[in-house]
């Protein structure tokens, strides 16, 4: 006999399967640069967020190894117990200086940092305004928070202006670069609308390291300073973890009250040490951003004639296919030709906009982009008889 909970679990899984939305987790044997190996087969990876190509860079690997020799493996405690180390403090200080903030609070993931901010800052009767395409970590926190959450239409400033209320404690949250669409938020306009009326938070997971002078991100690129800035380390930094940048008082408050910080094991000091190295690489290795710019131009030249092409100013390149079955067929065809491309389906993106999400990294070459375009053209011709 199944319990009610077990029945619910089974029903949810069958529903996912029936809707063609079941997700799979694939264990790769090896990842190196822009290559993935699965069942002994090599694939060109156009599906990572390793925008600057740091994740398997030998100098970053050595930095982490050096950190391991100095500090051992785990931090062995939460930050307020004994998990916080000089290596963490030094990373925080570097981030503050680089991005122009008084405080940086480290988290083990961007997901937990977003949840921590929303749960600890907002109370009942507060107002949370979010772009409707914000990341799941922000949306879920908003839905579970006692604050009232309203979603404004994507990048629609008229709608945001209608919703902002100066009479309520109000937080406005946007991504800097939208992860599934690759477009920028109008940060200058959001800053203007929020000035003295609301706190502004920018999740710059996909902009940090890439946009702005020396990779300082989307806010710097727009000449804007948000009260709260989230940067994650799982993308351009090539590692994992996150930091929330803010002023002294907000930092003190989060340190005291953000449960995801207080009650969670600190990231290993060796990782903080490696992150400091990644930061130096981001600051000094301008060629990575320059190469990415060049590859973006190549992408536009090669793909702009495709149906579903979307022009974006970032390395995130969506190609809208529409329905889930066609997406599945196209992505399987691409795999059979040796290309691994993200197939993004609802509920991650709105119904009817299932898409290939191609991401460019500084490890790719111009030739590989042209090879991907030819493979996609052939796949589309075969799949859709176009
Ligand atoms: C916009 C955005 N915010 C937050 C996150 C979560 O970051 P993390 O992977 O470090 O948990 C992601 C990750 O995919 C993201 O795309």
Determine the pLDDT at residue 165: 87
Whether residue 363 lies in the annotated active site: no
What's the CA-to-centroid distance between 356 and ligand 1, angstroms? 19
Q: Which of 34, 50, 131, 175 is catalytic?
A: 175
DSSP string, 66-117: HHHHHH-S---S-IIIII--HHHHHHHHHHHHHHT-SEEEEES-HHHHHHHH
Whether residue 175 lies in the annotated active site: yes
Ligand 1 neighbourhood includes 174 CB (under 6 angstroms): no
CATH architecture designation of domain 27-52+286-384: Alpha-Beta Complex (3.90)
Determine the pLDDT at residue 166: 83
Whether residue 203 lies in the annotated active site: yes
Q: For residues 172 and 134, what is the distance between their CA atoms, to the nearest angstrom?
A: 11
Per-residue pLDDT of the chain (386 residues; tens, 9 = 90+): 899 999 999 999 999 999 888 888 999 998 888 899 999 999 999 999 999 999 999 999 999 999 999 999 999 999 999 999 999 999 999 999 999 999 999 999 999 999 999 999 999 999 999 999 999 999 999 999 999 999 999 999 999 999 998 889 999 999 999 999 999 999 999 999 999 999 999 999 999 999 999 999 999 999 999 999 999 999 999 999 999 999 999 999 999 999 999 999 999 999 999 999 999 999 999 999 999 999 999 999 999 999 999 999 999 999 999 988 889 999 999 999 999 999 998 888 888 999 999 999 999 999 999 999 999 999 888 777 65
The sheet that has 354-359: what strands, in order across it? 30-32, 35-38, 41-46, 339-344, 354-359, 316-322
Ligand 1 neighbourhood includes 182 CB (under 6 angstroms): no
What's the CA-to-centroid distance between 204 and ligand 1, angstroms? 9
Q: Which of 206, 261, 277, 364 is catalytic?
A: 206
- Extents of the domains making up the chain: 27-52+286-384, 58-284
Q: 103: which strand partners? A: 246
- In 3D space, the residue among 233, 226, 247 whose CA is nearest the CA of residue 106 turns out to be 233
Ligand 1 neighbourhood includes 134 CB (under 6 angstroms): no
* Domain 58-284 belongs in CATH node 3.40.640.10: yes
Q: Which of 134, 203, 218, 277 is catalytic?
A: 203
Ligand 1 neighbourhood includes 342 CB (under 6 angstroms): no
Whether residue 49 lies in the annotated active site: yes
- Kind of pairing, strands 41-46 and 35-38? antiparallel
Whether residue 235 lies in the annotated active site: yes
Whether residue 18 lies in the annotated active site: no
End-to-end distance of the chain based on CA atoms, in angstroms? 51
Domains 27-52+286-384 and 58-284 in one fold? no
What's the CA-to-centroid distance between 182 and ligand 1, angstroms? 14
What's the CA-to-centroid distance between 3 and ligand 1, angstroms? 34
Show the tokens assigned to 156. 């629609």
């Amino acid at each position: 006999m199944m319990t009610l909970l077990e029945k619910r679990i089974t029903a949810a899984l069958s529903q996912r399967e029936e809707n063609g939305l079941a997700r799979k987790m694939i264990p790769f044997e090896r990842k190196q640069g822009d290559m993935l190996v699965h069942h002994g087969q090599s694939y060109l990876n156009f599906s990572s967020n390793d925008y600057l190509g740091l994740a398997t860079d030998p100098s970053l690997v050595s930095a982490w190894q050096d950190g391991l020799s100095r500090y051992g493996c785990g931090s062995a405690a939460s930050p307020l117990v004994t998990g916080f180390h000089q290596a963490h403090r030094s990373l925080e200080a570097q981030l503050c200086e680089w991005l122009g903030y008084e405080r940086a609070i480290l988290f083990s993931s961007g997901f937990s940092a977003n949840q921590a901010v929303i749960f600890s800052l907002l109370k009942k009767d507060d107002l949370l305004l979010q772009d409707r395409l914000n990341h799941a970590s922000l949306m879920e926190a908003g839905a579970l928070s006692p604050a009232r959450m309203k979603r404004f239409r994507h990048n629609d400033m008229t709608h945001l202006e209608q919703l902002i209320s100066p009479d309520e404690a109000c937080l406005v949250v946007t991504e800097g670069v939208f992860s599934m669409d690759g477009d920028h938020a109008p940060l200058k306009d959001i800053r203007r609308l929020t000035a003295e009326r609301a706190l502004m938070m920018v999740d710059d997971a996909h902009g940090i390291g890439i946009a702005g002078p020396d990779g300082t991100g989307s806010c710097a690129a727009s000449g804007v300073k948000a009260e709260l800035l989230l940067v994650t380390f799982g993308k351009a930094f090539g590692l994992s973890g996150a930091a929330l940048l803010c002023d002294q008082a907000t930092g003190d408050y989060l340190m005291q009250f953000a449960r995801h910080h207080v009650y969670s094991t600190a990231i290993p000091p060796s990782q903080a040490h490696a992150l400091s190295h990644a930061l130096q690489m981001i600051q000094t290795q301008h060629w990575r951003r320059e190469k990415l710019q060049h590859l973006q131009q190549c992408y536009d030249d090669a793909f702009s004639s495709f149906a579903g092409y979307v022009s974006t100013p970032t390395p995130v390149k969506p190609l809208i296919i529409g329905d889930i079955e066609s997406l599945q067929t196209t992505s399987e065809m691409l795999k059979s030709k040796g290309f691994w491309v993200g197939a993004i389906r609802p509920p991650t993106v709105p119904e009817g906009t299932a898409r290939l999400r191609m991401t460019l990294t500084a490890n790719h070459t111009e030739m590989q982009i042209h090879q991907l375009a030819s493979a996609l053209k052939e796949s589309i011709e075969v799949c859709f008889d176009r």
